[in-house]
Structure 1
């Protein structure tokens, strides 16, 4: 939502349903599963975009792997599941990435998210956390050289009143509409 310092924007792919498929490889047929959720753009090539899961979202034959969705630039944003066996795409052996075609394409949307992990110095952030029992929740964090400081993470609960001005620390913002998964707001003053 807001920060005391500029934070980098990252493209995200949000997939609405779980996908199960199979992928032939040599003499074996892998069972491939990708959970619904958020996938962050981590790489691209001339033909498409690699959106990788932040957590354990992709399984191959019941083993969690590093992977996510590959979106084709050529085939009108067609999606496939990809995976590799190392911790990140750039460390994959010989750049080998495995692809599993999907017969029934999931509903998805492309959005941008803010990441607070790639900056230097002291930065504080206020992140939207959802609504419960008439309260709107935010998470306040302080980072030092890109790392969250546990002692400086705090959940903040405020009464939810659409079109009201909210204030926390130095920030001021108007919440137009919110539910458990999204918020529409206007930032009047950053942290």
Structure 2
């Protein structure tokens, strides 16, 4: 073998080695939004005549929640991946990974914490990929910069699959205008075997809307359940001074 031919073969191996990579461009598919669900409230109250019983939006934080599927990782892991002349090493944190997106092959779960870079690797922002029908994450994905609504990322195989459990987490749906109710229901006492209320609607600035003020009289029955607008409540006792009631559904 001539010296020139040997050098040519060696050069070919070096070039091939420089170009190899275990990283692919991952298409994260369709972003999955949290699912909205409504809680059934059971809140007991006692208010006096002339006091507000229900305020629209008052129970929106407790009454509506957003549910997100999670992939739960018990222990942190370390993984590495080769890309050309670089080896990236990450610490995969334990905790809840929130369902971010799905494609035909599986689901992407995002970490709220960064993947800490080890041995000179920068921190990455991403999560784990779980194939359809699998109990384990087989790949991880990341971007070097944290950004919302990402649809593409670097993706690579984990050194070993990571077992986890599928669960759900929930968060309250916050009402930005909860400080100013759009409507109220006020207790107005008992008369002629009827329990009385006053319903008022308000403008965005908090002013009452006269055309939307109504007096409501309903047959009084201790322990009865009453519905008005979106509200549903059970009245245990009502008299000329106060009302003892339980909120089942709030006023929206």
Give the alignment's TM-score, normalised by structure 1: 0.53
Larger radius of gyration: 2
1:6-155 pair list within 5 angstroms:
6-56=64-114, 58-61=115-118, 62-73=121-132, 76-79=134-137, 80-88=139-147, 90-91=149-150, 95-103=152-160, 105-116=161-172, 121-122=177-178
- Count of residue pairs brought into register by the alignment: 122
SS at match of 2:149: helix
Q: Is the contact made by 2:141 and 2:155 (CA closer than 8 Å) also made in structure 1? A: yes
Please report how far the alpha carbon of residue 107 of structure 1 lies from its aligned counterpart in structure 2 after TM superposition. 3.8
Q: Is the contact made by 1:18 and 1:35 (CA closer than 8 Å) also made in structure 2? A: yes
Using a 3 Å threshold, how does the CA distance of structure 1 residues 31 and 10 change in structure 2: closer, same or farther? same
CA distance in 1, matches of 2:141, 2:109: 9
Using a 3 Å threshold, how does the CA distance of structure 1 residues 6 and 31 change in structure 2: closer, same or farther? same
Q: Is the contact made by 1:82 and 1:99 (CA closer than 8 Å) also made in structure 2? A: yes
Unaligned runs of 5+ in 1: 124-187
Higher strand fraction (1 or 2): 1
Q: Is the contact made by 1:81 and 1:100 (CA closer than 8 Å) also made in structure 2? A: yes
SS at match of 2:64: coil
Higher helix fraction (1 or 2): 2
